Structure 1
Amino acid sequence: MHSYSRTAIILHWAIAAALAFQFSVGWSLETLGQKGFALYQLHKSVGMLILALTLARVLTRLRKPRPAAMEGGWEGALAKGVHIGLYGFMLLAPLSGWALVSTAKIKVPTLLFGTVPLPHLPLPQAAHELSENAHGLLGWIGVALFALHVAGAIRHHLLLRDGLIWRMVPGRSVALMAVLIALIPGAFVIGGVMANRAAGTAPAAVAAPAAKVADVVAAQEAPATNASEPVVANAAQPENMTVADEAAGPPPLWTVRPGGTLGFSVGNGSDRISGGFSRWTARIVMDPDRPETADIRVEIDMASAHIGDPTQDEMLPNDEFLGVAAHPKAIFVAKGARATGADGYSARGTLTLKGVSAPQTIRFTLKGAGLTRSVSGSATIARQTFGVGNGDSSTGLDPSVAVSFRFEATGKTP
């Protein structure tokens, strides 16, 4: 009995496993919403992989035709039709998915397996509905063809006992056949497990009060690269009164030491998305004993926003979120602050973000004495006021964003 080439065999089983994974994941994506973002990105990557493997399979078949059919009649015609249908599905389903993403109102960048950028197809947005419907219909057609193909293989092996399956098993090895067949349900189960994890419970930080969440985010952020820049600095009341003699003089100018963090966190269903900014500067003047002398100006480079996921990081500068092209900086200014406790302060000022200016309050505490302080603080920003998250991919986000900062500051008197 003639067998398929080794290349054709490898491609056959690899595509089969990838299809099983896609079917399992595809059924879950619509119900996951924003929680399935990472899985959605993987679904796109695996789809493009199937397209590439299918093209390789077609080229392999053109170079070395398949072994002769083992049966004729309507059974043979049905088998041939299923094979042709599967090839059409494996080409058209990824292409329709690609078209769907390319024509969406919100352009979500695609990084194949988080590495290789996939450009959008030059299609009009009017083609989106057609692409979406076609992709959904093709999915169900693919499931039916896949099931028919598997049923045919079982019929030949268990009922007809004609050894047809051995043409796709190198060396007619029973053990290898078992391993190859196990790839299919294994891939299906893996897809289901990943979908269940995406829909799982929220991390413990979600249940924490907003102020605590801000502290958690700040503690987890990677150190910012502000070694040579003056950065946000706020003074707070010292634990002792060693600067009392200087209180009557001009307030000191505060500069943040390298290693400060500026983070943000927003709820996303039962999940939480956390990120930060790596470039931010400020000029802060404030007497710890006279918070009313505070003069604060913070500038944040919006292009430095990061979450840690390559695809989401590419989305942040877009108009739906930060609108970096038109509004490269966010600016917070405040004149004066007030004490809220032994170590606590608040400053009410104005935040300008994406061209919108609105009142904003920050809260901060300070530990230490004299002109060396450890500062931590937070703010709660109503993102919709500034048009942050104004598209379809933002519907699952909470209306408030928790912002946090933590750094070491040193002061200098004029």
Structure 2
Amino acid sequence: MQRYSRAAIFLHWAIAALLAFQIAVGWALEDLGSHGFFLYQWHKSVGMLILALTIARIAVRYWKPRPAKLEGGWQGALASAVHVGLYAFMLGAPLTGWALVSTAKVTVPTLLFGILPLPHLPLPAASHALAENGHGLLAWLGIALFLLHVAGALRHHVMMGDGLIWRMIPGRSPILLVGLPALIAVGFLAGRAILPAPQSATPAPVAVEEADNAVEPEANVAEATNVAAPADNAAANAGEAVAEEPAGPPPAWTVQPGGRIGFSVSNDGDTISGSFAKWTAAIVMDPDHPDSADIKVTIDMASASVGDAYKDGMLPGDEFFGTAAHPTATFVAKGAEATGPDSYRARGTLTLKGVSKPQSIRFTLSGKDATRKITGSATIARAPFGLGNGDSSNGLAPQVAVTFAFTAKRKD
């Protein structure tokens, strides 16, 4: 019996295994929410690989001679139609998926297998619904054609006994007759195996979220902590009342290299953490007279990173920082107050993504004389600033924790 070429055989079984993987993953993606982020990247990467292998398969189909058809009539016509449909599916599904990603409201970069960037197609946003519906329809048609193809092959090989499947098995090897079709099951099981475990709901996060929502949008969680310790604040305020007047203007401080401003937010039970690589701070303050403080921090929002190329590509978009229109964020505070030994709170204004809101920070000083180490934190409500305003942000907690640590030297 005439067989397909080895190149055609390799491509046939490789594509079949990858399609099984895609089916296993694709069924679960819509229900995973943010937990499916990395699976979406795998789904796109494997889809583009299937597209490339399909193009190669078509080239081999016309380059190498193919075995003659074993059956005519309507059965042969149906088999040919299924083959044509499968090729249309293997080309159309990746292309509509590519179009879907290219026209999505939220711009998500694609790095094929984390290495090769995939550019977006120059398509109008209005075509997104067409691409999305077409991709879903092709997926179900592809599954139907896949099953028809398998049923037809088994009908010939088992029921008719013409050994059709041997045409796709090199060397007529019984081991490969079992092993190569088993790759389909392996691909499906691999797709199921990489799915994340279901997240069990726990009452504690809900209670915390309700408590956070009970705080006014401009309020800071750190301020609530301060209310819980009135005795400490009273002692601090009493200390301020008897403090000596400053002898001269408050000193200015120069931030030294090596400091860090970081942020973190809960995401469906996980935590996303990152930092800003570029920022500046202008600080004037006498630690003994904190009311003299004049603080301004400017952050380059495009320098944000969470250590993941996919998510870093999303941060500059309008759903998050909108850096094209709002490249920087600033925090400005005039005056601070002591909350304890070497501990302070500064109430000021945070301007982020074009929105200005009251914001408090808490910080501590350590060291003496001309060199001080500053560490602090703040809790920022996302909603007032429009951070995470799209579908991909549904799992994000309403509060973002910000921490900072740096060393400053007093200017002479």
Query: Given residue 331 of structure 1, which amino acid in structure 2 is its aligned partner?
Result: T
Quick one: distance in 1 between partners of 2:110 and 2:404? Answer: 31
Alignment length (residue pairs): 379
Give 3-state SS (helix, strand or coil) of 1:196's partner.
coil
Report matched runs for 1:346-385 at 5 Å: 346-385=345-384
Q: Which residue does 1:309 correspond to in 2?
A: 308
Q: Over residues 178-214 of structure 1, what are the superposed CA-to-partner deviations in whole Å (9 max), with x where a residue is unaligned?
A: 33223212221221222234x5579xxx89x89xxxx
Say if 1:365 and 1:377, in contact at 8 Å, map to a contact too. Answer: yes
User: Would the aligned equivalents of 2:302 and 2:316 in 1 still touch at CA under 8 Å?
Assistant: yes
Equivalences for residues 14-413 of structure 1 within 5 A: 14-197=14-197, 199-200=198-199, 248-407=247-406, 409-412=407-410
Alignment root-mean-square deviation, CA? 2.9
Identical residues among aligned pairs (%): 66
After the TM superposition, which of the residue ranges 287-296 and 131-140 deviates more from structure 2?
Answer: 287-296
Residue 292 of structure 1 aligns to a residue whose secondary structure is strand
Q: Counterparts of 2:28 and 2:68 in 1: how far apart (Å)?
A: 39
Is the alpha carbon distance of 1:87 and 1:372 closer, same or farther for their aligned partners in structure 2, counting shifts above 3 Å?
same
State the AA in 1 paired with 2:410: K
Q: For residue 195 of structure 2, give the secondary structure of its aligned residue in structure 1.
A: helix
8 Å CA contact 1:251–1:413 kept in 2: the answer is no
Superposition deviation, residue 57 in structure 1: 0.6
Instruction: After TM superposition, give the deviation of residue 8 of structure 1 in Å.
Output: 1.0
CA change 1:245–1:6 in 2 (3 A) is farther
Of 125-134 and 26-35, the range deviating more from structure 2: 125-134
What letter is aligned with 2:38?
Answer: A
Whether the aligned pair in 2 keeps the contact of 1:345 and 1:363 (CA below 8 Å) is yes
| Cα offset, 1:311, TM superposition | 2.3
Q: State the AA in 1 paired with 2:396.
A: L
Distance 1:2 1:374 in 2: 79
TM-score (norm 2): 0.83
Gaps of 5+ in 2: 210-235, 237-242
Q: Distance in 1 between matches of 2:411 and 2:135?
A: 66
304-313 vs 394-403, greater mean Cα deviation:
394-403
Compared CA separation, residues 152 and 336, structure 1 to 2 (3 A): same
Partner Cα distance (1:331, 1:320) in 2: 19
Distance 1:413-1:125 versus aligned 2 partners, 3 A rule: closer
Q: For residue 270 of structure 2, what is the amino acid of its counterpart?
A: D
- Equivalent-residue separation in structure 2 for 1:168 and 1:246 (angstroms): 92
- The alignment partner of 2:30 has SS state of helix
* 1:123 alignment partner AA: L
Which amino acid in structure 2 is aligned with residue 379 of structure 1? A
User: Which amino acid is the alignment partner of residue 8 of structure 2?
Assistant: A
Gaps of 5+ in 1: 211-236, 238-243
Aligned to 2:222: none
Please tell me whether the aligned partners of residues 302 and 323 of structure 2 are also in contact (alpha carbons under 8 angstroms): yes
State the one-letter code of the partner of 1:44.
Answer: K
**Deviation of the 1:35 alpha carbon:** 2.1
Name the SS for the 1:21 alignment partner.
helix
After superposition, the C-alpha distances for 1:208-243 in whole angstroms (9 at most, x for unaligned) are: x89xxxxxxxxxxxxxxxxxxxxxxxxxx9xxxxxx
1:281 is paired with a residue whose SS is: strand
1:354-384 Cα distance to aligned partner (Å, 9 max, x none): 2221111112233444444443221111222
- Return closer, same or farther for 1:160/1:375 CA change in 2, 3 Å cut-off: farther
Query: Aligned equivalents of 1:323 and 1:69: distance in 2?
Result: 58
